[in-house]
Amino acid sequence: VNALMYHIKDLSGINGVLRPGIVHRIDKDTTGVLVVCKNDMAHKSLAEQLKEHSITRKYEAIVYNNFTQEEGTVDAPIGRSPADRKKMAVEPKNGKRAVTHYKVLSHLNHQFNHIECQLETGRTHQIRVHMSSIGHPLLGDQVYGPKKCPFPNLEGQTLHAMVLGFVHPVTKEYLEFTAPLPQYFEKLQKKLI
């Protein structure tokens, strides 16, 4: 935030001083592309697109266990876990609608798969909760997955915000941005093949 404030003096103040210009967040220890608005008009436009679910958000992840289907959809409401208020969970009673579409990009070995997830909605920890709920927790996710990671030097979950697409607030042109996989992710993939 401080770097943004230094370089761009007219950031949107809609989300307050802690998150100026930020339209959506990515989880701690998640890498990838993020959009920051420089003014309130742009922020309102992108926030509305996010609310209408018209922003393209694709993530890549490495998850445990083989899939029986190469692609699918998890449509399960997410809310605060009644067992642990610091965690989110699939909560049919008190959760909000959450939809994640996934497809297997490659089978890395008998224990892991490289997948793509596209968000239809945007709930806190959505991909992490949904994948864990169907038996495919993210590698390195110590909150929703196994406590012991087979790769002790891995920092955080293997989740990367690969693609972000939206309609430009002024030109009305559809724009799409990508962030290449980080080196640690690519090295891990090669190790698992």
Task: Return the active site residues.
Answer: 27
**CA–CA distance, 143 with 71 (Å, rounded to integer):** 24
The amino acid that residue 154 corresponds to is: L
Q: Are strands 112-119 and 159-167 parallel, antiparallel or unpaired?
A: unpaired
For residues 163 and 178, the answer to whether their CB atoms sit within 8 Å is: yes
**C-alpha distance from residue 70 to each of 26, 43, 67, 106, 161 (Å):** 25, 36, 6, 9, 20
**CA–CA distance, 192 with 114 (Å, rounded to integer):** 10
The angle at the Cα of 39, spanning 99 to 26, to the nearest 5 degrees, equals 30
Q: Are strands 159-167 and 31-32 parallel, antiparallel or unpaired?
A: parallel
For residues 105 and 111, the answer to whether their CB atoms sit within 8 Å is: no
Burial 155-191 (b: 16+ CB within 10 A, else e): ebbbbbbbbbbbeebeeeeeeeeeeebeebbeebbee
